[in-house]
């Protein structure tokens, strides 16, 4: 297959906040782009994208496309798209490449790759680093793992949806790296909330702490702090990502840690905090709302107007 993207037929299954812009950017680039989603509301939004052909099932997508990206919100959704009665595994064929963008366990990623390979297809992981604004602007960073011989078919498409990519190893590797990258962010989220809570109790203005960390040049600065500390302090939901995704990712990281036989207390604390936040009814809140668990634990209001 030529690397000329105009000759490729590509699709995206999962037309949410990340997947729909990816599909739209493929269509905008002149690629024969297809989209699929089980949510009627997502399909209605996708119908407005010029050049995007909508199909009904993952199996139909596998028949129509050379490369199929899956960008899904949960482990259950990944299982349904790949292993369901109209799933990709049942429709696997020689020449098909599937590329999973969702953050899942590395063991699950390897199992999917083996199942697709049994049907003659090739499976990669093309994990996303970025947020909806980066997806819309085709500025995602892709962490890729799997059979490197499939890269010439997939990377020209990645170039239409992102700014850069890196192949990091065999199937599963990208998922572990993405979980570690996300895990750092979730630990930063908890540490930022704790720092702001203690400052509040000491009568220190949040703005003073934020200014010092941002501009002082010390080791406390992180991109998370820069983006979210002010919003956490004000109790704002800035719409960057839902908390249930954080719970999914930290639970997957907990399983990875257990499989490695390690005791990693910070990652364990993050998994517990996000799990408790979902149980407390915060699943659909912005993921920074995990800070509210500090208020529940201490019986005090630290963030926002009160």
Residue positions annotated with a catalytic role:
178
* 8 A C-beta contact, residue 115 and residue 91: no
Question: What are the beta bridge partners of residue 141?
Answer: 129, 164
Left, alpha or beta for 108 (phi > 0: left; psi -120 to 50: alpha)?
Answer: alpha
């Amino acid at each position: 297959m030529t690397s000329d993207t105009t000759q490729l037929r590509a699709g995206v299954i999962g037309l949410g906040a990340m997947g729909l812009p990816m599909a739209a950017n493929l269509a905008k680039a002149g690629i024969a782009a297809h989209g699929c989603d089980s949510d009627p509301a997502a399909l209605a939004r996708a119908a407005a994208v010029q050049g995007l052909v909508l199909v009904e099932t993952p199996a139909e997508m596998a028949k129509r496309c050379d490369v199929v990206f899956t960008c899904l919100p949960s482990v259950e959704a990944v299982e349904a798209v790949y292993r369901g009665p109209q799933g990709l595994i049942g429709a696997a064929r020689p020449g098909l490449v599937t590329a999973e963008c969702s953050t899942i366990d590395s063991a699950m990623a390897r199992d999917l790759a083996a199942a697709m390979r049994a049907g003659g297809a090739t499976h990669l992981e093309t994990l996303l680093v970025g947020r909806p604004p980066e997806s819309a602007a085709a500025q995602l960073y892709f962490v890729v793992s799997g059979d490197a011989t499939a890269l010439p078919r997939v990377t020209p498409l990645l170039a239409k949806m992102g700014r850069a990519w890196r192949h990091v190893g065999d199937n599963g590797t990208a998922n572990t790296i993405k979980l570690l990258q996300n895990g750092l962010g979730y630990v930063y989220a908890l540490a930022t909330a704790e720092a702001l809570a203690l400052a509040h109790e000491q009568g220190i203005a949040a703005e003073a702490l934020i200014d010092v960390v941002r501009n002082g040049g010390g080791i406390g600065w992180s991109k998370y702090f820069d983006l979210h500390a002010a919003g956490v302090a004000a109790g704002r939901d800035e719409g960057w990502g839902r908390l249930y995704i954080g719970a999914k990712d930290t639970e997957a990281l907990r399983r990875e840690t257990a499989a490695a036989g390690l005791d990693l207390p910070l990652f364990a604390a993050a998994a517990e905090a996000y799990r408790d936040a979902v149980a407390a009814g915060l699943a659909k809140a912005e993921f920074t709302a995990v800070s509210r668990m500090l208020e529940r634990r201490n019986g005090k209001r630290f963030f926002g107007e009160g």
